[in-house]
Structure 1
Amino acid sequence: MVKPVTHVLFDMDGLLLNTEDLYTVAFQNILSPYGKEYTFDLKLKLMGTQSQETARAIVSELKLPMSPEEFIIESKKQFEVLFPDSSLMPGAKRLIEHLHKKGIPMGLATSSSEESYHLKVHKHHQEIFSLLPFKTFGSSDPNVKKGKPHPDIFIVAASKFPDHPKPEQCLVFEDAVNGVKAAKAAGMQVVMVPDPRVDKSLTEEATLVLQSLEHFKPEIFGLPPFED
């Protein structure tokens, strides 16, 4: 059952920006000297989690001879090189600009830190992200006690809208299984745009699954349709 919504929350990595691919490159660059591989199965478990949690899991699972803190330091060096040239995912710009033009309240709910966000957005994407005025950074915001799949980030993000919508009035856009679980736990509907390698059985909790944001029809959720 799809219900009309009034507010929209976007994840960022892998949904609006191609940064999930860049995380894979960054982590593999750190792991290669140790003969380790950042597999898609491991990535799938960690997509949407906070940076500390990601670092702990990778160090533990791959038995790396470094602490999670050292892994984060090495990661940041990689991110500084890779993230500034991130690119928008297909359909992201059109959808955000359309909803903005129609006056739909929008927010960003990303597990990234604020520092990481600025690395990704500053060089090429400030204009489009300025249309998402309510931003929540899961790895920086003290109010987000637990990362996805816990609902904290979406509850905090929704609370930033001045008119305080109910959870069922909010539509979340996500690419990660953990993100979908978090949105559902928050009582929100969720459109999932998964990596094509994600098994279909892992997408069943989503309200709607799409191959790309390009395929989204706003009117399905009672939002103003595209005019072209």
Structure 2
Amino acid sequence: MAFNSVTHVLFDMDGLILNTEELYTEAFQNIVSRYGKNYTFELKLKLMGLQSLETAKMIVSELELPMTIEEFMEESNKQFKLLFPEAQLMPGAKRLIEHFHQNNVPIGLATSSSKDSYDLKVTKHHLQLFDLFPYKTFGSSDPEVKNGKPHPDIFLVSAKKFPGNPKPEQCLVFEDAVNGVTAAKAAGMQVVMVPDPRVPKELTNDATLVINSLLDFKPELFGLPPFKF
């Protein structure tokens, strides 16, 4: 396959750089099991990449939980404070981010998480790595991001933070979620998808490139500096 060369790169965070999608599943299951419900992977697929409020609304509605959206969010935050500080890096994430940084490729973080949620996930173990991102956009707390994924807002807002205002086609997005891929494509950007292996193959068709792990990514495919080893 032929891909178009890019100059700038945007990263999603949850499930791509950090294993936090597993932690979200644990947190939500801990809450819904009190009411005899299951947080299924089918439901998770619909939610991955959404902003916090949209996620809470959908879980309460789909599982018919006897609690308000505000109560669900409050309970979620209690779970997150326990689980998120121990988030681990996904395979290849550190290597790829450091590679782009060392080769002066402009990189930005485009996460649906709020700033508070980001701090919980990153501060204890991963601050040094995430400090390599000079530009960060937090979808759930940035007023410029009017609509969450699958809308393109977060990627368009993130790209505007780069000096020189690159065009969408100059930006490459890394994503793990179907909603994120849809958002990147809607923004006019190419997108590399690293899906959960349980995601049905037909739901990955919109991605420019699908790989099993960030360890499998070859930067030169998109005109970026190759690994030297």
Normalising by structure 2, we get a TM-score of 0.99
Alignment of 1:98-117 (within 5 A): 98-117=99-118
Offset of residue 134 of structure 1: 0.4
Counterpart for residue 88 of structure 2: 87
Structure 2 residue matching 1:220: 3-state secondary structure: helix
Offset of residue 133 of structure 1: 1.1
**Residue by residue, what CA displacement relative to the aligned partner does 1:117-139 show, whole Å, maximum 9, x if unpaired?**
00000000000001111000000
**Number of matched residues?**
228
Structure-1 separation of matches of 2:61 and 2:41: 17
Counterpart for residue 29 of structure 2: 28
Structure 1 residue matching 2:18: 3-state secondary structure: coil
**Residue by residue, what CA displacement relative to the aligned partner does 1:115-173 show, whole Å, maximum 9, x if unpaired?**
00000000000000011110000000001000000000000000000111000000000
Structure-2 separation of matches of 1:67 and 1:202: 31
Offset of residue 71 of structure 1: 0.4
Counterpart for residue 215 of structure 1: 216
- Stretches of structure 2 that go unaligned for 5 or more consecutive residues are none
Structure-2 separation of matches of 1:133 and 1:68: 34
Structure 2 residue matching 1:8: 3-state secondary structure: strand
Amino acid in structure 1 at the alignment position of 2:80: F
How big is the alpha-carbon RMSD for the aligned residues of Structure 1 and Structure 2? 0.4
- Stretches of structure 1 that go unaligned for 5 or more consecutive residues are none
Structure-1 separation of matches of 2:66 and 2:32: 11
Alignment of 1:132-151 (within 5 A): 132-151=133-152
Alignment of 1:1-228 (within 5 A): 1-228=2-229
Offset of residue 103 of structure 1: 0.1
Offset of residue 107 of structure 1: 0.2
Moved over 4 A (4+): none
Structure-2 separation of matches of 1:69 and 1:137: 20
Structure 1 residue matching 2:109: 3-state secondary structure: strand
